[in-house]
Structure formats: structure tokens, C-alpha cells
Structure 1
Amino acid sequence: MFGLGKKRTKFGRWLDRQGITQVEIEEKAKLGRATVSRLCNDEEYTPKYSTEVKLRKALDKLGFRLPDDYFDM
């Protein structure tokens, strides 16, 4: 479906399973393309707290919820 065989982070794989596109996250969370790409593809990236808050609010609007400790922060 999504992912096209690229290496994905835990979050990127979760988005793929839910059928949510990176573009949807960019638009709903008002995050830049580079930030969303790093969230989905860079295993070393840890988002800032403000980024995680925007992301969680966007997912709530889309009807999805991540576990509280999803990003190990």
C-alpha cells in the first residue's frame, strides 16, 4: 500500500498500516515536509515536544491515537 519498500520508522510503519499519508499529517499538524519525512524515515530522529503535541492533535482530528510513550520521550 504505502511505504514502497523504503526503510521506515516505527511511526512511519504505523502510518502505513493506518492508511494515513505523510501529506495528511503535514496538513493537519501544520508541520513541514522535512519534519514529517524525518518522523517517518529517520530512526535517529526524536521530535521536539511541540512537534509531538501538534502530531497528536492532528491524529486526534483524524480519529487516531498513539500510545503516550510512543516516541520514548
Structure 2
Amino acid sequence: MGLFTGKPRSSLGKWLDARGITQEWLVRKTKVNRTTISKIASDDEYSPTLPTIKKIMKAIREIDPSAKANDFFDI
């Protein structure tokens, strides 16, 4: 369960929560569909496409330059 939301959270969702970053920020930064971001933030089993992973990692690295894709995604 997410710290603030009461919803299940994936590794990405937990990372966002821990930093007080909204999914909406990620939607704006990545131009990835809001539904897709929501799914990625709540379901560790969900596998986004490689282009989506690249967009998300580019945004994450603005906050944490040392972040690695395999911290969030099974690749």
C-alpha cells in the first residue's frame, strides 16, 4: 500500500511518493498517457514499452541522476 494513497504502489510509485512527486508531474514531463503512468506507478507486474521506459527515466534522472531503469522496471 502506498504511504499516502492507500493504493498499491510499484517501485516507481514508491519512489514518487517518497519524494512528494505527483504522477501528474511525470505525465507532463514524459508526455506519456496518464492511464499508463498510473498503471506503472501501481503495478510492478506491468511492463511498459522501451520508449516509455526511456521517457520516464529521462524525467527521473532530472531528480536523481544516478537512478537506473532496473531500479523500477524488470529489464
TM-score, normalization by structure 2? 0.81
Deviations, residues 14-55 of structure 1 (Å, cap 9, x unaligned): 110011100000000111101100111123201111001000
RMSD: 1.6
Name the residue aligned to 1:7. Answer: 8
Number of aligned positions between the proteins: 71
Establish whether residue 72 from structure 1 lines up as the match of residue 67 from structure 2: no
In 1: Cα distance, 2:43 partner to 2:70 partner: 18
Residue segments in structure 1 that go unaligned for 5+ positions in a row: none
On the 8 A contact 2:57/2:68 being kept in 1, the answer is no
CA gap of 1:24–1:4, structure 2 versus 1, over 3 A, is: same
What secondary structure, in the 3-state scheme, does the structure 2 residue paired with 1:44 have?
coil
- Give the CA deviation at 1:67: 2.2
Name the residue aligned to 1:52. Answer: 53
In 2: Cα distance, 1:3 partner to 1:45 partner: 21
